[in-house]
Amino acid sequence: MAATEGVLLGMGNPLLDISAVVDDAFLAKYDIKLNNAILAEEKHLPMYDELASKSNVEYIAGGATQNSIRVAQWMLQTPGATSYMGCIGKDKFGEEMKKNAQVAGVTAHYYEDETTPTGTCAVCVVGGERSLIANLSAANCYKSEHLKKPENWALVEKAKYIYIAGFFLTVSPDSIQLVAEHAAANNKVFLMNLSAPFICEFFRDAQEKVLPYADYIFGNETEAKIFAKVRGWETENIEEIALKISQLPLASGKQKRIAVITQGADPVVVAEDGKVKTFPVILLPKEKLVDTNGAGDAFVGGFLSQLVQGKSIEDSVTAGCYAANVIIQRPGCTYPEKPDFN
């Protein structure tokens, strides 16, 4: 079945990626690690200007959930099939963000904060691998009052699938709770992402509260291992962890949970109904890799594009792998005009 208008809703932190190729000395100077995602601290603040001064710097609309929604929209090619909410500032970057969503065909209802600048994310690339340092700024100001406004809640009502990355847990857990409960009460599909080791480690309580509502949980192998470790599961086996995640308690009205764990170039692990399946990814020669920024987001976007059309898990994983493969051959979470996926 074709995607209907507003079938998929995302909520999260809209950030403008400030992306540049750096070197190991730069990583050491700001004490950052590749393949990690963190929130900016005081010591990181000068880094944004230093990145901006690099000749190879690029500004790309980002934010994990927004990336996934844009990719799903691109895969679907049905204008307005997807919608998105988050908070931006009233500034140049905010205008950039609005324009970008419009061009992408996403119905974006941004909450605009008068006093705080639009959030940014430093993307430091070394050898194709990325490190993300988010300065949330306005993204951190999202309030559930915005969500409750009739014109915004209408997007929730219209959606059949609601996706929220774990990063939003640090911003507006009450907004997440509202849509999670709405999804449970109305037989809708609610999907979450582990998103980053620090979310699994330091926002465990907030995460724990919404997990029972999640029909699908996405994550990568690093996040899955930390998730297991903080729960004392004493295993680093990704298949075992995926199985355990799928079997965590469910909120009333939820039938089952599917856990989907990506592992970079290694197979995707899917746990469902007490069984685990693995799906190989499309391997890419190293020389074709531009950067891994947005790869996980793109996987989710591709996956969602099929799921919302009632396709199988297998088709959804295939589409996720296709989308991730396209995105890693380009800077940031960007894509060509049309997908050639069938």
- Active centre residues (catalytic): 297
pLDDT at 167 over 80: yes
pLDDT at 151 over 80: yes
Would 30 be classed as within a structural domain?
no
120-126: strand order across its sheet? 37-39, 129-135, 120-126, 15-21, 58-62
Q: Of 108-112, 148-152, 282-286, 316-320, where does mean pLDDT reach its minimum?
A: 282-286
Would 186 be classed as within a structural domain?
yes
Would 111 be classed as within a structural domain?
yes
The predicted model gives 11-15 an average pLDDT of 97
In terms of C-beta density within 10 A (0-12 exposed, 13-18 middle, 19 or more buried), how is residue 54 classed? middle
What is the phi/psi pair of residue 208, to 5°?
Answer: -55, -35
- pLDDT for 334 equals 84
Say how many C-beta atoms besides its own lie within 10 A of residue 206's C-beta. Answer: 17
Close Cβ partners of 237 (under 8 Å, ≥ 6 residues apart): none
Q: pLDDT tens digits, residue range 168-182?
A: 999 999 999 999 999
- pLDDT for 322 equals 97
pTM of the predicted model as reported, rounded to 2 decimal places: 0.94
| Residue 163's CATH number | 3.40.1190.20
Would 260 be classed as within a structural domain?
yes
Would 222 be classed as within a structural domain?
yes
> 226: domain range?
8-14+63-117+138-328
Euclidean distance between the first and the last CA atom of the chain, given in angstroms as a whole number: 14
Q: How many residues does the chain have?
A: 342
Would 51 be classed as within a structural domain?
no
The predicted model gives 188-198 an average pLDDT of 97
Cα–Cα separations (whole angstroms), residue 325 to 69, 296, 314, 322: 17, 10, 17, 5
Would 189 be classed as within a structural domain?
yes
Close Cβ partners of 99 (under 8 Å, ≥ 6 residues apart): none
- pLDDT for 342 equals 78
189-193: strand order across its sheet? 107-113, 82-89, 8-11, 161-165, 189-193, 216-220, 258-263, 266-272, 275-279
Q: pLDDT tens digits, residue range 226-271?
A: 999 999 999 999 999 999 999 999 998 899 999 999 999 999 999 9
pLDDT-derived band at 104, boundaries 50, 70, 90? very high
Dihedral sign of CA atoms 112, 116, 117, 118 in order: negative
The predicted model gives 1-6 an average pLDDT of 84
Domains identified in the chain, total number: 1
Partner residues linked to 112 by β-bridges = 88
Would 122 be classed as within a structural domain?
no
